[in-house]
Amino acid sequence: MSQAARPSDPLFSGPPPVRVAPSPPLAPEDAWKIMVIDDDPDLHPLTRLVLKNLVFDGRAMAFIHGYSGADARRLMQEHPDTAVILLDVVMESDREGLEVVRYIREELNNPWVRIILRTGQPGLAPEAEVIAAYDINDYKDKVNLSNQGLITAVTASLRTFKLLDTIERTHQGMRRIIAASGSLYELHSLGHLAQGILEQFGRLLEAQSSGRPADAFAAAVKHGVIRIHAASGAYAELIGQPVDEALSSSVVSLTWRALRERGHQFTEHEFIGYFPARNGLENLIYLDVHRRLGEVDRDLIDLFSANIASAFEQLLLHREIIKTQKDVTFTLGEVIETRSGEAGQHVRRVAENSRLLAQLAGLSSDECELLRMASPMHDLGKIGVPDAILNKPGALTDEEWILMRSHTEIGEQVLGASDQEIIRTGAVICAQHHEKWDGTGYPKGLAGEEIHIFARITSLIDVFDALTHKRIYKPAWSIEKALEIVKKDRGTHFDPRLVDLFLANFEQFLEIQQAFE
């Protein structure tokens, strides 16, 4: 608006024109952001003077100043959480403010900021036309706008903004809860689950909006000691330590209160959740988000906490299922070994040493554990081989050898129909653990990396263990003689890389073998 068009209302009279520098924006939790966009520099200090003592919902005002439509576009990009914008209509052009409204709503896609248009020349943009064509929330004639009128208009706009903000934050929070909960159910170790919960809580509460990441930890109670088993932020280095020794007295007190009262606890900026499990394990989740936790935050925490409790129960159920599957696979393996006159401890040595070799080969912890549980089934197909062949002390005839070799395909057929990951993995190992790196193995003559890594690992471990233990058709060989065979068959029978890892770390394999003699 030009100086000639300045209104004479007392609100707009005052000291000589002065360009007011933008005030530093405060965090949304500390103050409502009020943006003043007007090309008349006198209006900025006067508007600030009228509104500076305004407090709404316990929060004061933080002012952001701009003097043109270009300023408005830039500042709204920088401050998308602005609650109210007091926007002049006539600036670079007679309708510049209206173009800014269109930019905010359509290009920035910001439907939340409350827009109060102010004009000293209402004839250039008639109120009825503006209200009908533009998404604004109020339209004020500066000539008739009193101090109290401005306060009333801003307060009403803040009330609406708060309502919209609450609805949107709840909506976003619910979407995050749905996404977070799904990912939690995929985690099958207590440490991974706890770390996943901390990460999802941080995203849910948008802890970064305070300028600091959340400080958080997960702990469990065992033998009367609360010990941290996952952590982030300031507590990241405290994993494994007792809460009583590692944390401040206030956090310790809050933690024990949650445990004593068997329920969640809140402070102004902290949350600690209590999550008991059916097996008696008590889990605790602590968060300090360094900002005030509002009603929306608390509601979202309560909703997410219900899913956390379910995730802990799901983990326990998963563990029970895995334990049952593990018991079944080891028992099946031992039955087959006993039937063929061999010691049942063979499958345990194969399981543990296969896991070790998988670790050395760089497989993930989940893959290593999966191999440990599936490898005991490598000879399951021998259930279809006659006892006379299994227990024959001498060399097999060609016909008998054909029957013996069929155990790979029998095992694959027996296990392959299952939809359980452990059983299906056992089927792969059954089918391929007699394949050879150079393609001369059976039943399909696979070569190199055509052979599944699980089968390549099991093959090497199985052969070495069989060589060093008595079988019905041979005595036990010495460690030295067995190692010579492994070295000789590097690159023909066995994956050369796996042989190198096995030899370089042989003492570890020997310790496992001796532990299960």
Residue 6 has pLDDT above 60, yes or no: no
Give the pTM: 0.46
For the chain, first and last CA: distance in Å? Answer: 93
> What percentage of the chain has pLDDT greater than the value 70?
72
Q: Where in the chain is the domain with CATH 3.40.50.2300?
A: 3-166
Distance of CA 1 to the CA centre of its chain: 52
Active site residues: 382
Residue bearing tokens 């976003």: 172
Q: How far apart are CA 264 and CA 284, in angstroms?
A: 9
Whether 114 and 83 have beta carbons less than 8 Å apart is answered as yes
Q: Does domain 340-515 have CATH number 1.10.3210.10?
A: yes
Could you read off the pLDDT of 327-342 as tens digits, one per residue? 666 666 666 665 554 5
Q: How far apart are CA 240 and CA 237, in angstroms?
A: 9
Could you read off the pLDDT of 306-316 as tens digits, one per residue? 666 565 666 55
Q: Where in the chain is the domain with CATH 3.30.450.40?
A: 187-314
> What percentage of the chain has pLDDT greater than the value 90?
27
Angle in degrees, 0-180, between the axes of helices 43-51 and 147-184, rounded to the nearest 10: 70
Q: How far apart are CA 408 and CA 63, in angstroms?
A: 76
Residue 429 has pLDDT above 50, yes or no: yes
Q: How far apart are CA 101 and CA 104, in angstroms?
A: 5
Question: Which are the contacts of 467, defined by CB distance < 8 A and separation ≥ 6?
Answer: 476, 477, 481, 482, 485
- What pLDDT shows up at residue 205? 65
Q: Which is the CATH superfamily of the domain at 187-314?
A: GAF domain (3.30.450.40)
Bridge partners for 85 per DSSP = 35, 115
3-class state of residue 270 by DSSP:
strand
Residue 424 has pLDDT above 50, yes or no: yes
Phi-psi region of 341 (alpha: psi -120 to 50; beta: other; left: phi over 0): left
Residue 484 has pLDDT above 80, yes or no: yes
In order, the DSSP letters of 49-109 are HHHTT--BTTBEEEEEEE-SHHHHHHHHHH-TT--EEEEES-SSSTTHHHHHHHIIIIIS-
Instruction: Specify the fold of 3-166.
Output: Rossmann fold (3.40.50)
Confidence label for 111 from pLDDT (cuts 50, 70 and 90): confident
Could you read off the pLDDT of 152-164 as tens digits, one per residue? 889 988 988 887 7
pLDDT average, residue stretch 206-217: 61
Residue 373 has pLDDT above 80, yes or no: yes
Confidence label for 170 from pLDDT (cuts 50, 70 and 90): low
Q: Where in the chain is the domain with CATH 1.10.3210.10?
A: 340-515
